[in-house]
Amino acid sequence: MGQPAASRGRAATPTLGKAMLNKYARAFFTRVLTPFAAFLIRRGVSPDTVTLIGTAGVVAGALVFYPRGEFFWGTVVITLFVFSDLVDGNMARQLGRSSRWGAFLDSTLDRVADGAIFGGFALWYAGRGDDNLLCAVSIFCLASGQVVSYTKARGESIGLPVAVNGLVERAERLVISLVAAGFAGLHKFGVPGIQYLLPIALWIVAAGSLVTLIQRVVTVRRESAEAEAAAARQEEQGSGAAT
């Protein structure tokens, strides 16, 4: 969940590499999903409905399968519903809609989906996974992801650009975690040693999220100081002109 929101009202400031990946990946999926999106529009389905169904599917996949250790099937279900996020954006473009409400709904439900995924990991390690440390790491991934998103939103709400591309942002958190979880689930099919991919991935996401959080806090502090200094200079110039 997350990419279509840009087409429904949100702006993004990706790095060159991310921009190129986004350009070609989006072009491919646009061609593949446009007929399906058009079909849903003809049936009277709204982009918001697709967003809600997609989030519900991700939450169900994470909280039904992951706490039972069914990482492979849980990841399959989540991946299928994650594509709904591309569909709703495609529908919005076809309908010519770019609404603040759509952007808000996407962003809000992204947080719900993220919480369910890392919450599912935490429930597994708190229960049958029997590893309190990894449970704590999963909870940290959940919390830090929410705070990383909040720092950008709060900085922008007070008029700052928050012009920083963090080390591990939402897309990286999900790709690393879901790919590792999917492969780790192959352990139940007899693949030896592969179950350790998920713990490694969670530690990487936790460390990367911490670095990203620090990057954003430092950036907001710098931008805030620069904005206040610029405002002070402008005020001094205005006072000088008045005299």
The binding site for Mg(2+) comprises 85, 88, 106, 110
Which value, in Å, is the radius of gyration of the alpha carbons in the chain? 21
Which residues, 6 or more positions from 164, have their beta carbon under 8 angstroms from its beta carbon?
215, 216, 219
- Residues at the binding site are 48-51, 85, 88-89, 93, 99, 106, 110
Give the position of tokens 């704590």: 136
> 114: exposed, middle or buried (C-beta count within 10 Å: 0-12, 13-18, 19+)?
buried
> Which two three-digit tokens encode residue 125?
């390690």
- Residues at the binding site for a CDP-1,2-diacyl-sn-glycerol are 48-51, 89, 93, 99
Catalytic annotation, residues: 110
Max intra-chain CA distance, the chain: 82
Which residues, 6 or more positions from 41, have their beta carbon under 8 angstroms from its beta carbon?
91, 94, 95
